[in-house]
Structure 1
Amino acid sequence: MVVVGSANMDLVVRAAGLPASGETLLGSGFETCAGGKGANQAIAAARLGASVAMVGCVGDDAFGATLRDALTSDRIDTAHVQRIPATSSGIAMITVAADGANTIVVAPGANARLTPELVDAAGELIAHAGMLICQLEVPLGAVRRAIDTAARHGTPVLLNPAPAQPLPDDLYAQIDVLIVNETEAQVLAGVAVSDAATACRAANALRAKGAHTVIVTLGAGGAWYAGPEGEGHMAAPRVDAVDTTAAGDTFAGGFAAARVRGAPLCDAIAFGQRAAALSVMRKGAQTSIPTRAELDAQLPAA
């Protein structure tokens, strides 16, 4: 599969809670971790069984070298991960509370330099991929070019529209799987999602816009799915969360890996949920993403 998206260096501070506006808290630790939604999803898919190529940009700084190395260490093709001269790599400032909740602020850096032309250079990869995965931490123009290319060649498209922003109406019909959380569902569908019933309304609204299959993730509350293979709610595995960073990315990558292997929709969702559940039991972004062997050993299917 091909992932078109971001690579960031995560700068993570841990604290007892999340600060309110204007509040200063003392943290309990600091670490740097390779991250970014695109890179996280690529690594999740690779560790969970898929062959993956990444399309994106990093800076010519030390972070850029580290981010590329993190991808190649998981056997991801980085031929189309460009190092942009005189540009800093993207970074994410993350605060993680004791209960695993987090807040994230992203400075895009080189991610903002991903152009439609750089996507075109990977056109053959996209045309022959089993799936294209995109998010919105890179410019929408580049995402649209990737999706247009996939649609022309019959490559299935998975879009995780994060960070949330309104999408052009004509884009929805090109999306085979749209994965949204509660925040993204409200921005795109105008529905305040808090449970399965409201997730159902949001999913139906997004399908009415043209998305073929919609998955609304509800964290510990599971996921609602709706599409040609049916609709319903799937409960999430019950675990003790340590850090929810990259849980959504792990779900998306795991779901995609299973789907490309030919898994039915519900089986792919369950696989992604198991992967995400194991990830929240660990600290960090990419460091928390399990391999297929770890998942089968530590959180096997019921």
Structure 2
Amino acid sequence: MNHHPPDQARSPQPPHVAFVGRANIDITVRIPQRPVPGRTTFASSPATTTPGGKSLNQALAARQAGARTSLISNVGDDEWGIFLNRALTDAAVDVSHFRLVPSAPTGIAIIEVTPDGENYIVLARPPKTELTGEHVRSALRQLRAPTVVTQLDLQPEAVDAVFQHHDAGTLIGNLVPHPTLGATALAPLDLFVSNEAEAAAILGRHHADPSIAAQELRKLGPRAVVLTVGARGAVYSDADHTALVPAQHVNAINTSGAGDAFLGTLAARLAHKVPLTHAVAEGVTAATTFVRVGGRQ
């Protein structure tokens, strides 16, 4: 006989969001100023080694924001890859399509953080761990997640696999599209999310008013656009409105990963059917908290 309370038995599953993209190790050093040629700069504190990569960061943020999350990604079958797999598992992110590739190294990002919280990143990205179209197709077919977030700078076959498979639900794209895809990669999206530098790279010019940049990006085909504008917050533009959602002023400790905290939270809230303007506001709050405390807690 089932003795579970009725409300517990009927408790609905949280919405499912799948992330398609990269994972790597972040090695972060805090420095008093950027090095100059021929001179050594000593770090202000010991280096830290943490899980990283845009899609991994976003999956963790979405999980923290109440979504059920899966990460479709490749890493090396090495010490770092095993470390990342364990971190995702510990955070209750589904790793059924997170592959450890034999004889491949795991990607590493070297992140320098200056006292103003700005970050300077160098990413070593192993070609052997790039996603293939077949991996992406197979994963999405099995996961059947109604919300999918993809990096657009992946190999074209991987991005095309996302577009071909995902014909229902919500499709969110991030980053400057792979050069062979170009701006046409924005057209199939329900939502495109970028920062100002990425928007300028796509549009070919920087707009002083981010609202204009967001509207210009919408002309490339996505149903809606969100443009993150650092300490000012984020601008969203859809068929009905274009508006700035301001951020609370805080003293930033580290801005590295703030955009991923924003996007992961935004995706989770949209998966919960929260209206875009409210989802953007929750994303801004998550990113603001992230930079204030210096990362995930």
Pick the aligned partner of 1:109 from 110, 121, 126. Answer: 126
- Aligned counterpart, 2:72: 55
Larger Rg: 2
Q: Say if 1:22 and 1:208 are closer, same or farther in 2 by CA, change over 3 A.
A: farther
State yes or no: 1:72 paired with 2:72: no
Correspondences of 1:176-191 after superposition (within 5 Å): 176-191=190-205
Return the offset for 1:121: 1.4
Normalised TM-score (structure 1)? 0.87
C-alpha distance in 1, partners of 2:153/2:296? Answer: 20
In the alignment, is the contact (CA less than 8 A) between 1:9 and 1:63 conserved in 2? yes
**SS of equivalent residue, structure 2 residue 293:** coil
State yes or no: 1:132 paired with 2:148: yes
Pick the aligned partner of 1:44 from 41, 61, 70. Answer: 61
Q: Say if 1:193 and 1:96 are closer, same or farther in 2 by CA, change over 3 A.
A: farther
Return the offset for 1:18: 2.8
In the alignment, is the contact (CA less than 8 A) between 1:64 and 1:89 conserved in 2? yes
Q: Say if 1:6 and 1:34 are closer, same or farther in 2 by CA, change over 3 A.
A: same
Normalised TM-score (structure 2)? 0.88
C-alpha distance in 2, partners of 1:236/1:60? Answer: 40
C-alpha distance in 2, partners of 1:237/1:18? Answer: 28
- Aligned counterpart, 1:33: 50
Pick the aligned partner of 2:27 from 11, 17, 30. Answer: 11
Return the offset for 1:17: 2.2
Q: Say if 1:174 and 1:20 are closer, same or farther in 2 by CA, change over 3 A.
A: farther
Q: Say if 1:111 and 1:68 are closer, same or farther in 2 by CA, change over 3 A.
A: farther
C-alpha distance in 2, partners of 1:106/1:93? Answer: 6
Return the offset for 1:14: 0.9
Pick the aligned partner of 2:157 from 141, 150, 168. Answer: 141
Query: Which segment is superposed worse, 258-267 or 184-193?
Result: 184-193
Q: Say if 1:207 and 1:177 are closer, same or farther in 2 by CA, change over 3 A.
A: same
- Aligned counterpart, 1:238: 249
Query: Which segment is superposed worse, 108-117 or 241-250?
Result: 108-117
Question: How many positions carry a matched residue from both structures?
Answer: 280
Return the offset for 1:24: 3.6
Return the offset for 1:191: 2.9
Aligned Cα root-mean-square deviation (Å): 2.0
- Aligned counterpart, 1:173: 187
C-alpha distance in 2, partners of 1:106/1:98? Answer: 21
CA deviations over 1:170-198 (Å, ceiling 9, x no partner): 3222111111111101111123144xx2x
State yes or no: 1:97 paired with 2:114: yes
Amino acid at match of 1:2: A
State yes or no: 1:84 paired with 2:95: no
C-alpha distance in 2, partners of 1:180/1:158? Answer: 11
CA deviations over 1:27-50 (Å, ceiling 9, x no partner): 123111110001000000001100
**% identical equivalent positions:** 34
Q: Where do 5+ consecutive residues of structure 2 fail to align?
A: 1-16
Amino acid at match of 2:58: Q
C-alpha distance in 2, partners of 1:73/1:234? Answer: 33
Return the offset for 1:92: 0.4
Amino acid at match of 2:160: R
- Aligned counterpart, 2:265: 254
Q: Say if 1:166 and 1:65 are closer, same or farther in 2 by CA, change over 3 A.
A: same
